[in-house]
Amino acid sequence: MMEIPLLNFVPMHSEIKSDMQQAFNRVYESNRFVLGEEVRQFEKSYATFNQVEHCVGLSNGLDALHLSLKALGIKEGDEVLLPSNTYIATALAVSHVGAKPVFVEPNIDTYNIDVKCIDAAITTKTKVIMPVHLYGQSCEMENVMEIAHENNLFVIEDNAQAQGASFNNKLTGSWGHVNATSYYPGKNLGAIGDAGAVTTQSEELATKIKTLRNYGSNKKYYNEILGYNMRLDELQAAFLSVKLGKIHEWTRQRIEIASWYDEDLKGVSDLILPKTAEKATHVYHLFVVRTSKRNELQKYLNEKGIGTLIHYPIVPHMQEALKFLDHKKNDFPIAERIAETCLSLPLWPGLLREEVSYVSKCIKFFLRS
């Protein structure tokens, strides 16, 4: 029996071990640990990678979403549209600035916000649309931007899962007024601890977020606004610079591994494979399949040594933490259906063809018997 975890850092990390150790030594010897040359350098490289003017390094993805909203002046009384099947962080960030998260159902094929459902959710209080590029696939950003423009709304992309994906050849993280990403270790570009960033074309918003991340201060001990400590640290920036050099190769591998699953699993009954929208690309942060026998399949694969996870088992509108929104079961049936049937299969750069074949063989054996 093979042992195949959902995610395995070893192939990626062994490849870059000596570069990572050098990065550590560089920071250690510099004796500069907060907001120094490493953060500046990484911000510059990531902005180039993401084809935007500005990147501001932050403590994590949740804080990046939070400061994006804050920088746009979103506050109590405002409404923010977000998909009903997102990770909880998107909804938490909206709540943390005092605004109301308003859920919009996803498209059942792409799992991304259904652009046909956005209009109906817009009210006089709506200020922002927050599309989430879920599992690594870009949302249909041309439509999202058009709706935002017509209704005078801001767009904040949640690009935590889709670094390097694009829509009509324009990268995720470069469409919105300001966009958040996460470098949580398991993300496509992951630090070896917590980290995140915003990307934007706006110098004004970048400056505002730099002030907010550093105690509301641009000049030591002069505090202009009520800020936070939400800085990216030098060590994580140095590690991220090493890993950024690998992102194209690792993304290529993710896409290749997804194509192996597609090849092995196409046509299997009661198994829905990922679908990518026209003009969108998918960087396979996760390879998510759906089946009516999800719980049984997960249990079977576990017995066969195969790690899987459910992204996500509880939809945001049914979370205890968001009870104040007064939602009930069936308010967002598509999100609920995805939560009940989805299963993420092992996928990481370095996963071998024979390992994918083994996972696929086990899935086929289970669903056919």
Ligand X SMILES: *Cc1c(COP(=O)(O)O)cnc(C)c1O
Q: By the criterion CB under 6 A, which residues form the site for ligand X?
A: 60-62, 86-87, 89-90, 132, 158, 160-161, 182, 184, 194, 196
Give min distance, CB of 84 to ligand X, in A. 13
Give min distance, CB of 188 to ligand X, in A. 10
Report the C-alpha dihedral over residues 174, 336, 97, 149, rounded to 10 degrees. 40
Give min distance, CB of 358 to ligand X, in A. 27
Length of the chain: 369
Of 56 and 363, the one with the shorter C-beta distance to ligand X is 56
Question: What is the 3-state secondary structure of 209-235?
Answer: HHHHHECCEEECCEECCCCCECECEHH
Q: What's the Rg (C-alpha) of the chain?
A: 21
Of 118 and 134, the one with the shorter C-beta distance to ligand X is 134
Give min distance, CB of 250 to ligand X, in A. 17
Of 26 and 96, the one with the shorter C-beta distance to ligand X is 96
Give min distance, CB of 195 to ligand X, in A. 7
- The answer for residues whose C-beta is within 8 angstroms of residue 259's C-beta and 6 or more apart is none
Q: Which amino acid is at 231?
A: R
How far apart CA 304 and CA 268 sit, in angstroms, is 19
Of 160 and 206, the one with the shorter C-beta distance to ligand X is 160
Give min distance, CB of 49 to ligand X, in A. 18
Burial class (CB in 10 A: 0-12, 13-18, 19+), 120: exposed
Of 97 and 367, the one with the shorter C-beta distance to ligand X is 97
Give min distance, CB of 268 to ligand X, in A. 28
Burial 299-332 (b: 16+ CB within 10 A, else e): ebbeebebbbbbbbeebbbbeeebeebebeeebb
Of 8 and 236, the one with the shorter C-beta distance to ligand X is 236
How far apart CA 328 and CA 317 sit, in angstroms, is 7
Of 182 and 308, the one with the shorter C-beta distance to ligand X is 182
Burial 213-247 (b: 16+ CB within 10 A, else e): bbbebeeeeeeeeebbebbbbbbbbbbbbbbbebb
How many angstroms separate the Cα of 9 from the Cα of each of 5, 52, 141, 280? 10, 29, 31, 27
Of 134 and 301, the one with the shorter C-beta distance to ligand X is 134
Give min distance, CB of 196 to ligand X, in A. 5
3-state secondary structure (DSSP) of residue 288: strand
